[in-house]
Amino acid sequence: MSEELTLALDFSGETLTFGFVSASGATSGVARLDLADFLAGAEPPMDKLSALLAAKVRAAPGAVDLLALSMGCDISADRKTVLDYPEAIWLNGNNVVDALAGALGKRVAMERRAAAFLSFDQAFLGLPRDGVLVGCYVDSVYDNAIWHGGGILRGRSGAAGNIGHLPVHGREDNCHCGKVGCCELYGSGRRLRHMHSLIFSDVPFEELFVHHGEHPLLRDFLRMMAYPIAVEANILDPDFIVLGGLVPRMRDFPRAEMEEAIRDQCHYPSPAREFALVFSSIGDDDRIVATARHLRGQPG
Ligand SMILES: [Zn+2]
């Protein structure tokens, strides 16, 4: 008898990563697509997504019992509707869960990416279930979540801990969320991409910290990346801060300086000295594993 599979999808920045995850966590058929590709041609992008996934399910090496989606953006409190995805605005306002469930005849579940990742990291890294954990996953955007009381703290609307749109006093740049000066504009991967294309294009993007890590602009970037984490640490006094995403995994990312920048912006002596900073276990292909396991209710 073939194994039951989850078709897991991770929407991060400009990229959709999707593939099958077995109950034991083995992956197969993993593929990546640029989300901009869904805009080509006359067919509505949501119809293209449904057709792509239907074809994937038909070609599955086993029975697919769940479609699990993790979204690197705000989603509705019932975790069905995408609210604000800047790299794929065609998703905004769509009840993706019901649309895909109707089109494919499968069970579909969706989660904020940071919540799925922190849940996976808690189990995989052996962090205490009864602890207070802050998870910060920094790709093109800033994704945060909080673990408290044995699970993800959701808050009233499900957005608890998502602190990337905290405005920075005195900064006036427009953010896609409608406000100005959000810290995500200055401490996320999108900022790094802009700096790379405007100032540091002499080196490959992935080697930005290798060649220019000491540049004042990159030192300022680190401090801005640390700022919302320090705000959360000051409020929550956590046991652990988990730092993940593409930016901390770049070559020669200055982990020690990052930790110093967080502690330096925390109240002294507590929580500045008391939390432990750990780095996420989640690499590129683990994203869909973390998504599948979280939405199946499995520990990491
Ligand atoms: Zn914003």
Would you state the structure tokens that stand for residue 233, as one six-digit string?
């640490």
* pLDDT confidence bin for 140, thresholds 50/70/90: confident
The whole-chain average pLDDT of the chain stands at 93
Q: Give me ligand 1 centre to Cα 44, in Å.
A: 27
How many Cα atoms occupy the beta-carbon half-sphere of 164 within 13 Å? 28
Q: How far apart are CA 103 and CA 214, in angstroms?
A: 51
pLDDT of 176 strictly over 90: no
265-280 average pLDDT score: 89
* pLDDT confidence bin for 9, thresholds 50/70/90: very high
Domains of the chain: 4-111 (3.30.420.40), 126-279 (3.30.420.40)
How many Cα atoms occupy the beta-carbon half-sphere of 221 within 13 Å? 24
For the chain, the C-alpha Rg in angstroms (whole number) is 19
pLDDT of 11 strictly over 80: yes
- pLDDT tens digit sequence for 70-95: 998 889 999 999 998 988 999 999 99
Lowest mean pLDDT among 2-16, 188-202, 206-220: 2-16
Q: Give me ligand 1 centre to Cα 164, in Å.
A: 7
* pLDDT confidence bin for 284, thresholds 50/70/90: confident
pLDDT value at residue 2 = 63
Q: Give me ligand 1 centre to Cα 190, in Å.
A: 13
pLDDT of 285 strictly over 90: no
79-82, Cβ contacts within 8 angstroms, sequence gap of 24 or more: 79/109, 79/110, 79/111, 79/112, 79/158, 80/110
Would you state the structure tokens that stand for residue 7, as one six-digit string?
């078709």
230-250 average pLDDT score: 95
- pLDDT tens digit sequence for 46-67: 999 999 999 999 999 999 999 9
- Of all residues in the chain, the percent with pLDDT exceeding 90 is 81
How many Cα atoms occupy the beta-carbon half-sphere of 252 within 13 Å? 11
Q: Give me ligand 1 centre to Cα 287, in Å.
A: 24
pLDDT value at residue 14 = 87
Closest CA to 18 of 5, 3, 31: 31
Lowest mean pLDDT among 102-106, 135-139, 219-223, 295-299: 295-299
pTM of the model: 0.92
Q: Give me ligand 1 centre to Cα 97, in Å.
A: 25
* pLDDT confidence bin for 248, thresholds 50/70/90: very high
- The secondary structure element, H or E, covering residue 70 is strand 63-71
* pLDDT confidence bin for 300, thresholds 50/70/90: low
Q: Give me ligand 1 centre to Cα 86, in Å.
A: 10
CA dihedral angle for residue 21, residue 22, residue 27, residue 33, rounded to 10 degrees:
-20
pLDDT of 1 strictly over 60: no
Beta strand pairing call for 4-12 and 15-22: antiparallel
* pLDDT confidence bin for 141, thresholds 50/70/90: confident
pLDDT value at residue 299 = 62
Q: How far apart are CA 144 and CA 136, in angstroms?
A: 4
Q: Give me ligand 1 centre to Cα 84, in Å.
A: 10
- Of all residues in the chain, the percent with pLDDT exceeding 70 is 99
Q: Using DSSP, state whether 148 is helix, strand or coil.
A: strand
Q: Give me ligand 1 centre to Cα 35, in Å.
A: 21
pLDDT value at residue 289 = 94
* pLDDT confidence bin for 126, thresholds 50/70/90: very high
- pLDDT tens digit sequence for 219-239: 999 999 999 999 999 999 999
